[in-house]
Amino acid sequence: MSAHEAMDAPRLKVPDRALSRARMKVNRAAWAARYYRNFSRPAVLRIAEAIARAGEEKAAHFAEMAVEETGFGVVEHKAIKNRACTHELLDFYRDLDLVTPRVDPARKMVELPKPAGVVFAIAPATNPVATVYYKAMLAVLSRNAIVMSPHPAARHVSVAAAEHLARAAEAAGAPSGLIQCVEEPSIPLVQDIMASDRINVIIATGGTAMVRAAYSSGNPALGVGPGNALAYVDPSAKVDAAARCLVESKSFDNSILCTNESVCLTLESNRGNMERALRSAGAHICKQADTDRLRDYLFTDHGFNVAAIGKSAAWIAERAGIRVSPSVKVLVPVVEKPGQDDLLFREKLCPVLTLTAAVDFRQALTFAKHTARRGAGHSAAFHGQDRARLLAFSQEMPVYRVVVNVPCSQGAAGFGTYLPPSFTIGTGFAGRSSVGENVGPQHLVHWTRIAYARDAAEDLSDLDPAAIATVTDAGAPVPTGILPEEAPPVPAAAAERPEISRELLRQLILEELRSLRRGDE
């Protein structure tokens, strides 16, 4: 650097305020996590009930905010998704105890739950509030703190939703900082926080690049891949019911769930019936010219036309130059030959469902497997009564969820089936993901297992799980978050919040100082 350049160089490096604030949130979450990990199961459930109640109260309000801010989806449908991530989600996991130690005398084993600590969660623009609700509930049920990073296109509603849940949690006795959200997300900020040694696990829901970045961060990550769900309609299906399922699923929230069907596959002998049934259910069946116009509009030289994401069928038809009824719910381009690699066989986060037909079931399976590779490990739907074909289809498809005779958008996400309710759909080995299930709170807890010798005589009858939960390594009591029944009345927030001893506080401060010292080395 020349002398002149040195003179002109800034004297002070201005810090990145957004990044500094995000790092402070992570530090605050680390303290909250250490405190919260000692809460009892009843205290955890009371906090979960509080955020479920708060989320329910503002589900419709935040749905309106989300559509207004992002331009994606349908307000009424977003409200349904938001509500599904409150009491319905809590009720599904209510009996899953991730807090109480387990004693198994028959196997001579004691299992101690260990929460992850600080969860860093990435939320997409397509389902911003539902994802915030869902991931906050998972963290609370598993006794973890969570810091969320919303998509920039949905940051205002995401921050508002997270702060609303945080206030409810703290009023119910949760430590301050348990639920937080980054206000000004950016790629450099997210990359920095993902690599932080204060982050214990990442839940990445979003585009492929972001999920890959999470796996490359150096921290444990639960990432999910894109969907491209195929629905096979067998001749044994009740065709009218199948068509209603497909139109309901593909039009739900303008098809921005990754579990929505992108391709409908049937056999040539059934294609005419499918076209008739889809038309009756509210779909527009495209002629060849309309199919070509739709393909040209949706897929450009730069990939999928993002302007179409989450828009209505009528809106897309108008832009593509296709005349349709204003009440049309789904556009159905028809591709005659399923074997060709048509762009319309790819994922489409909008109410456009490609229809094609195979000569026989063998060809249908071959095409279905080929199509599912773009969305490997995700989801598929089967409509029909032929159990042998259902099993063959499920065995051959490189997916981990096959829903039967139900809308795939809702069914694969666990709403309308007994699959776990989820807005993070694991794509497993096939999709290059670390988890193949619908992600739940159990994925945020690991267990220390104390195992005695198989042949030794050990009596574990004197081990009380409740007593184990309230004893530290040193034998001193740990705060449990529960007051004795005979305790005098106190304010609700204080009643749920465990006392923190001077000794425990001193240990936390010393640990904090040691970690800071290590960071300077």
Strand 303-304 relative to strand 330-332, pairing: unpaired
Write out the H or E segment, with its range, that includes residue 161: helix 155-171
How far are the Cα atoms of 29, 190, 222, 278 from residue 148, in angstroms, in the given order? 11, 10, 14, 40
Q: Measured between alpha carbons, how far is 47 from 401 in angstroms, rounded to an integer?
A: 31
Please state the separation of Cα 322 from the chain's center in Å. 35
Q: Is the dihedral of CA 418, 420, 423, 427 positive or negative?
A: negative
DSSP annotation of 488 reads P
Q: Measured between alpha carbons, how far is 106 from 423 in angstroms, rounded to an integer?
A: 37
Q: Are 133 and 161 in contact (CB under 8 A)?
A: yes
Strands (E), 346-444: 354-358, 377-383, 399-404
Q: Are 427 and 405 in contact (CB under 8 A)?
A: no
For 224, phi then psi, to 5°, come to -130, 150
Q: Measured between alpha carbons, how far is 253 from 415 in angstroms, rounded to an integer?
A: 14
Side by side, the strands of the sheet bearing 109-115 are: 102-104, 109-115, 445-451
Q: Nearest-CA neighbor of 78 among 148, 126, 42, 146?
A: 126
Q: Measured between alpha carbons, how far is 97 from 396 in angstroms, rounded to an integer?
A: 35
Q: Measured between alpha carbons, how far is 367 from 385 in angstroms, rounded to an integer?
A: 21
How far are the Cα atoms of 26, 351, 430 from residue 373, in angstroms, in the given order? 37, 21, 8
Q: Nearest-CA neighbor of 338 among 315, 303, 363, 312?
A: 363
Catalytic residue ranges: 258
Write out the H or E segment, with its range, that includes residue 394: helix 387-396
